[in-house]
Chains A and B, each alone.
Chain A
Amino acid sequence: GQNIDQPTEMTATEGAIVQINCTYQTSGFNGLFWYQQHAGEAPTFLSYNVLDGLEEKGRFSSFLSRSKGYSYLLLKELQMKDSASYLCAVPYNQGGKLIFGQGTELSVKP
């Protein structure tokens, strides 16, 4: 089966760096997604990792270690608008079944 774990909440200061961790257990690996979701809005795609290592995209980076079943999302130069829920997700198969973790609620304080 699939299991995804993320911290429930995190708090960070504007301008700082924060790392949101995700651990997963899957019966087969087809990549890992990170989504951002502001309250009451739709999730929006942030990143997709299928190979080990760090992928950087502006202020956001995502890291994957397949051997450890571990990923993190790194947010730099935090802004107030980064306050949101960050969702880790893994595909169960190639057929469209995508399973989400419960999400990490990030609060950015001035």
Chain B
Amino acid sequence: EAQVTQNPRYLITVTGKKLTVTCSQNMNHEYMSWYRQDPGLGLRQIYYSMNVEVTDKGDVPEGYKVSRKEKRNFPLILESPSPNQTSLYFCASSDSGGGYGYTFGSGTRLTVV
């Protein structure tokens, strides 16, 4: 089944403790992206990647890192999480920048205390 898989689905952590949210897609898509979703602010893009080793900042990249060492994986790294990074995170992939849009993973609900 074609899908985007994120892990974990739920995560509660403490301020400053490094964490990684994994994302994997099995559709051989070139484009991958991370979004966060907050009430009243909608979906905001954090980082996106056009191919292996090619990444670029979205609208809210501060406090986040990404890497794209393999085509299928696009992990999101929070080196020192803070409470304002409490949010619902979505990973997404696409086989083109436009036209087909993004297919989204099921989401990761992160709480930083």
Contact = CB atoms under 8 A, between A and B. Distances in A.
B89 to A, nearest CB: 11
B86 interface: no
A96 B41 contact: no
B46 to A, nearest CB: 11
Contact of A87 (B32, B33, B43, B107): B43
Interface in A31-51: 31, 33, 35, 40-45, 48, 50
A58 interface: no
Interface string B91-103: 0001001111111
A55 B103 CA distance: 21
Contacts of B98: 30-31, 48, 50, 91, 94
Given A42-B90, A43-B43, A87-B42, A96 B50 contact: yes
A35 B103 CA distance: 10
A31 B106 contact: no
B99 to A, nearest CB: 6
Which label, helix, strand, loop or mixed, suits the secondary structure of the A interface? loop
Contacts of A41: 106-107
Contacts of B105: 42
B104 A43 contact: yes
B49 to A, nearest CB: 7
B79 interface: no
B59 interface: yes
Given A41-B106, A96-B33, A102-B40, A35 B48 contact: no
Contacts of A102: 40-42
Contacts of B42: 87, 100-103
A88 B97 CA distance: 16
Contacts of B102: 45, 98
Contact of A33 (B45, B49, B101, B106): B101
Interface of A: 30-31, 33, 35, 40-45, 48, 50, 87, 89, 91, 93-103
